[in-house]
Amino acid sequence: MSDGKDLQLTEVSLRDGSHVVAHAFTEKQVRDVAKSVDNAGMHYLEVSHGDGLGGSTLQYGRSLVDEMKLIEAAVDECKHTKVSVLLIPGIGTINELEQAHNLGAQLVRVATHATEADVSAQHIKKARELGMEAIGFLMMAHSVSSEKLVEQAKLMESYGAQAVYVTDSAGALLPHEVREKIRAMREHLDVEIGFHAHNNLSLAIANTLVAIEEGATRIDGSIRCLGAGAGNAQTEVLLAVLERMGIDLGIDLYKMMDVAENVVGPIIQGSQEIRKGSLVLGYAGVYSSFLLHAERAGKKFGVDPRDILIELGKMKVVGGQEDMIVDVAADLSKKAKERV
């Protein structure tokens, strides 16, 4: 188990949490969070649309404020914390990456489905050319074998990625599966290994600890679980658990508790507890950002959002296929009427 000196924590509430607030973060909210986590000693703060750079579209949801303004605001407030961005090839482009870099973003996580690492090559290489830290982010890691994950991670490593993440986008991985995947990655890669958890089965903290045990040195958290579905590993809780284990990340626990209570808490419109929708995400193995879309489609077509998510799980849909949600809802509605 690490002593904490080699662990780097990325706070993702201003990116993953964008899904929860329908991409409606204000500049003031971003400034308040950025200033507060910087004061607490956070290592990285990820800021962008929930679906990454360029995600503000009709398909994924329009941002209230242009993400470049939000990135610029975060960079302005962060004196020590490095600002990170997410980029999904096909949604974000080299152009947005260059814009983010020019505004001061220092790290980019290039995210692909767990079988599509080859589409990340130009983005990872460009990030390295720009002098940014470049990290691979293999999403929906639960949906592929450890062997396939290693194969794809090695591609990202060959493109210049300085770390590769096992990304549990659906919050569907169980601890023994995390252990197997991280161990396989650690045995076959020369770069750092990261782990990004979602809490849909209430395993985000446990899974993150297992990942650390197996050698992951890049980990993620979201303050107050402000992230898609039931959120991610809750940052302030994760820090408290790690400190109880004698692992000090150099981040002030009390200050992070205060950020959670006084800064991020008021932003959250509801609660980030595990409710039926987010629970089904983990159970069915569906991309966590699909929840809000499924709830809206369910209301529109008069079907249970859980049925939509279960069907999407059977179809093994991936991030970027949000248009399928409406199709599935319409089809379920049609079948229900035919039965009547």
Q: What is the spatial distance between Cα 54 and Cα 319, in angstroms, rounded to a whole number?
A: 14
Residue 249 is given by DSSP the state -
Residue 268 CA from chain centroid, whole number:
17
Task: Name the binding residues for substrate.
Answer: 15-16, 169, 196, 287
| DSSP annotation of 274 | -
Binding residues for Mn(2+): 16, 196, 198
Cα 97 from Cα 133, distance rounded (Å): 12
Q: List Cβ neighbours of 129 (8 Å cut-off, separation of 6 or more).
A: none
Q: What is the identity of the amino acid at 158?
A: S
Q: Which of 6, 319, 14 is CA-nearest to residue 169?
A: 319
The torsion angles phi and psi of 87, rounded to 5 degrees, stand at -135, 125
Give CA separation, 144 vs 96, 149, 199, 326, in Å.
30, 7, 19, 26
Give the annotated binding-site residues: 15-16, 169, 196, 198, 287
H or E stretch covering 312: helix 305-315
**What is the phi/psi pair of residue 234, to 5°?**
-70, 115
The active-site residue, picked from 19, 43, 49, 293, is 19
Closest C-alpha among 273, 288, 216, 186 to residue 9: 216
Whether 19 sits among the annotated catalytic residues: the reply is: yes
Active site (catalytic) residues: 19
